[in-house]
Amino acid sequence: MKILKAKTSHPKKKIFLISDLVFIKKDPLPALMYGEQMIDPIEIQQHQISPVTRYGAGGVIYKEKKYSTYKGSQRINAAVQLGYDAIEGIIIND
């Protein structure tokens, strides 16, 4: 597993699989693409997954995820393009 690590030390820092995160897909930060390190860990909100099946538009089953990104979507996009599987982050709603 390849992990994108943050330079900043934080007591609540954890490793999250990118596949478990909901994030906005857009162009990544050029600085990360050209070899700079990630300074701060991303900020993540943790959600409760409903035990009842929920439906979205057109009757499609709504796929819930446990985590969504509050700050750091561009860093996740850069990690995906650079081949990382996981990223360091902190849960902000503890």
DSSP characters over 8-26: S--TT-EEEEGGGEE----
Q: Which residues are bridge partners to 14 per DSSP?
A: 89
**Range of 56's domain?**
3-91
Q: Above 80 in pLDDT, residue 94?
A: no
CA distances from 57 to 23, 62, 63, 82 (A): 20, 9, 12, 33
Task: Dig out the tokens for 18 from the structure.
Answer: 């990118």
Q: Above 90 in pLDDT, residue 56?
A: no
CATH number for the domain spanning 36: value is: 3.90.1530
- If one counts the domains in the chain, the total is 1
pLDDT in tens, 19-31: 999 899 988 878 8
pLDDT, mean of residues 36-57: 89
